[in-house]
Amino acid sequence: MQGFSNPSALARLLAPKSIAFIGGAEAEVALRGTLKLGFQGKIFAVHPKRETLAGVPTVPSLDDLPEVPEAAFIAVKREPTIELVRQLSARGTAGAVVYASGFAEVGEEGVKLQDDLLDAAGPMAVVGPNCYGVVNYLDRLSPWPDIFGGTAVDRGVAIITQSGSMALNFTLAAHRLPMGAMCALGNQAQIGMAEMLAHFATDERVTAIGLHIEGLTDVARFAEAAALARTLRKPVIALKTGRSEQGARTTRSHTNSLSGSDDLYSALFERYGIARVSTMSAFTETLNLLHHGGPVSGHTLLSMSCSGGEAALAADLCEPMRLKTPPLPEHSKTVMVKALNAFVQLENPLDYHTFIWGNEEKLTQCYTGAMSGGFDASMLMIDTPNDADLDRASWTPAIDAYIRAAGETGCRAAVAIHLPESMPADLEAKLSTNGIAVLRGLQDALDAIQAAADIGANWQRADPLPAFDAAPTAPGTVRQLTEHEAKQRLAAHGLPVPEGQVCGVSEAAAIAEAIGWPVTLKVSDSELAHKSDVGGIALNLESGPDVTDAAERLGHLSDNVLVEKMVTGAVCELIVGLKRDPQFGLALVIGAGGVLTELLADSATLLLPTSREEIDRALSSLRISRLIDGYRGKSGDRAALMSAIEAIGAFAAENWQTLEELDVNPLLVLPPGKGVVAVDALLRIRED
């Protein structure tokens, strides 16, 4: 993506006063869809031979149009497309959707044609090429070459995707998910994910934005748009496909084996409050929930149903999630017990049994009592008959009671149904009108509530967002430093390291005596990335003869050894590393360290620059943080650990363009007041 600096042209393309449809069958489909939505502007049709498109009279060429169209949908072959774009731009058309394929997606020839297309466009906004385009339900037009679901709305969610097929599938949910706009961007030659995100973030009619991302070509530009959406309090979710390891680049560090490119996307989303989901169904349900009230204020959930099996299932599914189901407070129980049978256990998740089934007043009292318990959200599980031959009358009081209880308590409310067909359209519309989303599938419902709560938690943070910087690397050859060199450079930025000295094999005992016992002996060679793998380390040496023997054993690996003071009494071992990605720049990785780093796979990734607050949250997300914060009578010096990680961040800032890779592993965390010590470090840096 080249980047586009004319947002007003994009706005006019998406909501024009006039639009021209140029081409044959696909243009006719797009025109018909625009008529279906009730577009109120002027519509023109261009075809050299046909007399009409979807009943609209045609003109044979652009020269025959009665006026310059503000927008255009172009569905002809790639070469004539370029010329049409050039003519439209020269006439002053604001933008065009380009349907044709055969551009950058097909190789070198296509790349050249795509460059020609951008040159022809000039200041004109271009969506595509090789794309389905846009269905704009808010402004009633569809430069879109296929069928689509849904009708015009005055407010709704916007979905932006790179896949035309997935976009079409998403529109099929528009009968129940208020859809404001659907955008399938294709090659993103000019208008990409970032530009569309920024546009819809500023549209007050858009209630939430969903992004289906295969990959980003300009992470910095996307970060800018994401920051805008967060500032404007527009909730955003992402379905990121293509999870993979870092790729084919050869690496030497544990850091790169721990964190792949997908972790960098997760770090990007976490920073800007974009909730990540993993399936199309969770994607639509989360957007549905966000449309009905925006983010959830926290992660505490009240779950209610008239089934013990459903209550148990909800509890099981919540257990590994960030959602919490705390007990009902006593004041809630006092209200609820007046409506319920003595056999009902007043717990959360709640099984209120069927003793009051069909009794709207008692159901209301039960729900109101529970929903007044201070929970961030409530969820009623209820599958309702959706067959004309089945009597659903006894289900209606439960729906009405829940609506009343939500209104009386102000508790954020949602309905979860287990099976997609278990909710009549009229009841769903009734719930929606009252601000209650109907979520299909219990796991997807819980995923949606958690995602909405994650956004809410992010928005409540007071710490400022660190600036995103993906500056390119400086020229030079990558050189791996010896461990001692690496430690000295890090120590200069405040990272505690053991006292040590590099010497020849014959000098090791004397150096050890001067440092003080016990000591550690290591091979000193810049080519050895992992010394323990080749037997290049001797630990806990307590005498001159022990050091001499160990040094002679290591002599076959290198002429030099590193003698260091042995550090004991560690509570746990961490790895703190830096890695460089061509798109994201430098990233910081924190995780469980030592020789079992990859096996434990307990890590968190942060984009750089970062902040102390981000570091603290990342550290708390690790399983190993329980050892630091206190486990079985032991705890670690968390304050010193935080300062050490910040020191590594300061080293990164000082060497921003030359730093290639860093592993501090292990970083030993000592008891409170004892600090931390980096006992090993691998550093690769670019130097002339």
Please check whether residue 180 is in contact with residue 158, taking contact to mean a CB–CB distance below 8 angstroms.
yes
Nearest in space to 31 (alpha carbons), one of 17, 16, 46: 46
Specify burial of residue 23 (Cβ count, 10 A radius: 0-12, 13-18, 19+): buried
pLDDT value at residue 250 = 35
Mean pLDDT of 507-524: 95
- The pLDDT of residue 308 is above 50: yes
More confident position, 161 or 259 = 161
Residue 556 is which amino acid?
H
More confident position, 346 or 258 = 346
Q: Per the structure block, which two tokens stand in for 250? A: 């050869």
- The pLDDT of residue 46 is above 50: yes
Strands (E), 35-88: 42-46, 52-53, 56-59, 71-75
Could you give the CA distance from residue 286 to residue 232 in angstroms, rounded to a whole number?
A: 19
Distances (CA, A) of 369 to 335, 338, 401, 593, 598: 5, 10, 12, 48, 49
| 272-281, 348-357, 627-636: least confidently modelled range | 627-636
Q: Is the pTM of this model over 0.85?
A: yes
Distances (CA, A) of 39 to 35, 42, 56, 167, 207: 6, 8, 13, 21, 22
**Beta-ladder partners of 20:** 44, 72
- The pLDDT of residue 255 is above 80: no
CATH, range 301-459: 3.40.50.261
Mean pLDDT of 569-574: 94
Please check whether residue 221 is in contact with residue 209, taking contact to mean a CB–CB distance below 8 angstroms.
no
pLDDT value at residue 407 = 98
Mean pLDDT of 454-483: 89
Q: How far is CA 83 from the centre of its chain?
A: 39
- The pLDDT of residue 562 is above 50: yes
- pLDDT band at residue 258 under the 50/70/90 scheme: very low
Q: Per the structure block, which two tokens stand in for 467? A: 């600036």
Q: What percent of the chain has pLDDT over 90?
A: 85
Could you give the CA distance from residue 61 to residue 460 in angstroms, rounded to a whole number?
A: 55
Could you give the CA distance from residue 141 to residue 153 in angstroms, rounded to a whole number?
A: 12
Could you give the CA distance from residue 403 to residue 178 in angstroms, rounded to a whole number?
A: 20
**Beta-ladder partners of 561:** 503, 523
Nearest in space to 53 (alpha carbons), one of 71, 70, 33: 33
Residue 568 is which amino acid?
T
- The pLDDT of residue 337 is above 50: yes
- pLDDT band at residue 234 under the 50/70/90 scheme: very high
pLDDT value at residue 632 = 83
pLDDT value at residue 244 = 53
3-state secondary structure of 488: helix
CATH, range 499-565: 3.30.1490.20
Mean pLDDT of 252-272: 73
Q: Per the structure block, which two tokens stand in for 17? A: 């006063």
Could you give the CA distance from residue 83 to residue 87 in angstroms, rounded to a whole number?
A: 6
pLDDT value at residue 599 = 76
- pLDDT band at residue 666 under the 50/70/90 scheme: very high
pLDDT value at residue 388 = 84
Mean pLDDT of 48-76: 97
pLDDT value at residue 301 = 98
Could you give the CA distance from residue 315 to residue 328 in angstroms, rounded to a whole number?
A: 14
Distances (CA, A) of 389 to 385, 399, 568: 9, 20, 75
- The pLDDT of residue 254 is above 70: no
Could you give the CA distance from residue 499 to residue 519 in angstroms, rounded to a whole number?
A: 10
Q: In which element (H, E) is residue 562 found? A: strand 560-565
Q: Where are the domains of the chain?
A: 7-241, 301-459, 499-565, 572-687
pLDDT value at residue 70 = 98
Could you give the CA distance from residue 359 to residue 186 in angstroms, rounded to a whole number?
A: 54
The answer as to CATH 3.30.470.20 being correct for domain 572-687 is yes
Residue 82 is which amino acid?
I
Nearest in space to 509 (alpha carbons), one of 558, 559, 563, 568: 563
pLDDT value at residue 471 = 74
pLDDT value at residue 548 = 95
Distances (CA, A) of 209 to 179, 225, 239, 437: 10, 12, 11, 16
Could you give the CA distance from residue 157 to residue 182 in angstroms, rounded to a whole number?
A: 9
pLDDT value at residue 467 = 86
Q: Evaluate whether 7-241 and 499-565 have a shared fold.
A: no
Could you give the CA distance from residue 204 to residue 232 in angstroms, rounded to a whole number?
A: 10
Q: In which element (H, E) is residue 590 found? A: strand 585-592
Q: At what angle do helices 396-409 and 425-433 cross, to 10 degrees?
A: 10
pLDDT value at residue 3 = 60
Which pLDDT tens digit goes with each residue over 96-124? Answer: 999 999 999 999 999 999 999 999 999 99
Side-chain half-sphere of 92: how many Cα atoms within 13 Å?
Answer: 3
| 45-59, 114-128, 355-369, 548-562: least confidently modelled range | 548-562
| 436-445, 473-482, 496-505: least confidently modelled range | 473-482
Nearest in space to 289 (alpha carbons), one of 418, 378, 187, 184: 378
Which pLDDT tens digit goes with each residue over 417-466? Answer: 999 889 999 999 999 999 999 999 999 999 999 999 999 999 999 999 99
Average pLDDT, the chain: 93
Superfamily in which the 7-241 domain is placed by CATH: NAD(P)-binding Rossmann-like Domain (3.40.50.720)
Q: Per the structure block, which two tokens stand in for 233? A: 């309090």
Torsion of CA 82, 86, 87, 92, to 10 degrees: 140
pLDDT value at residue 248 = 32
- pLDDT band at residue 252 under the 50/70/90 scheme: very low
Mean pLDDT of 498-522: 95
